[in-house]
Amino acid sequence: MSHIAIAAIQMRIHNADNRAVMIQRLETTMALFPWVQLVLFSELAPFGADPSRAVELPGPVEEQFQQIARQHRIWLIPGSLYERRDGRIYNTAPIISPQGVVVDRYRKQFPFLPYEAGIAAGDRFVTFDVPDTGRIGVSICYDMWFPETTRTLAAMGAELILHPSLTGTIDRDVELSIARSSAVTNQCYFVDVNGLDAGGVGRSIIVGPAGDVLHVAGEAPEIIPIELDLGRVRRGRERGLRGLGQPLKSFRDRQVDFTLYRESPYDGYLGTLGRLEKPARPGQVVHAPPAHEIAGPPSAEEPGEFVPAPIEVPVKGSSHGS
């Protein structure tokens, strides 16, 4: 079997406890579309972009979603939430099986700096297998602006990429293009679900492995149920896009050595670009911590308690951006 039925839920998100509304939307989804096998919410759906609501995982919040997944016998990715772990705060997406088991957790690798300050970056790619169906990868919002993330998931065998987002900024139209290019250059399905209100401007998108747009949502709440045929991915990767380009094979068989990834990122041109910080008006001084401090809290040797910075309004991975 190569088909999987998913539902992406685009809903209003507030910087508060949204779990009751999430569960109500999930219950509605399963009542209307009982054939759905996997449900995906948008980035930071449970509590919004409020680091002060960070929770430890595992814990009661995650257990509540496990119970719902087990009740409906579905795969569930409840968007992401801020996770407090080892003195740091991560933007983390739990992956829950139909048995209610957390099979993995993906931590966003590219917080939307300099806006998502105080959020640590994950360092591990995550895929999971749906038995007798296929392999699925997970990334979060700003991750997709770095094509290496999606290419790595594809090289790990992902045929479908689930991508919760929180984008409320004017670049959402650009992200729709990135979603299409991510799908076609990696010959996979790409499901990018965005929230509303404090959770984004909507316009969630589902793209097929040939870069074909299967659905683009509007700017209102929407349940998006769709059946995806992963056989299209396998056929396309074997024979090429419309019988033409075979980018994954070409990447595999490349002769070029991308030395950029083995060199210091501060050597050469990239090192001349200046600090990663918010733009300022002429003469204005913007105070921002160094990048290595933005990545996380003080070390154990340093005194003081880590207090996460409030997330501001360029929204792309928090109430300010991905």
Tell me whether residue 271 is in a domain. Answer: no
Tell me whether residue 144 is in a domain. Answer: yes
Q: For the chain, first and last CA: distance in Å? A: 35
CATH of the domain at 252: 3.60.110.10
The residue whose two tokens read 């316009």 is 203
321 pLDDT exceeds 50?
Answer: no
User: What is the arithmetic mean of pLDDT over 302-319?
Assistant: 43
pLDDT in tens, 179-200: 999 999 999 999 999 999 999 9
Note down the domain range covering 124. 3-259
Tell me whether residue 76 is in a domain. Answer: yes
CB 188 within 8 A of CB 4: no
Structural domains in the chain (count) = 1
171 pLDDT exceeds 60?
Answer: yes
Tell me whether residue 224 is in a domain. Answer: yes
pLDDT in tens, 132-144: 999 999 999 999 9
pTM: 0.88
291 pLDDT exceeds 80?
Answer: no
Worst-scoring range by mean pLDDT, 6-15, 139-148, 310-319?
Answer: 310-319
CB 213 within 8 A of CB 200: no
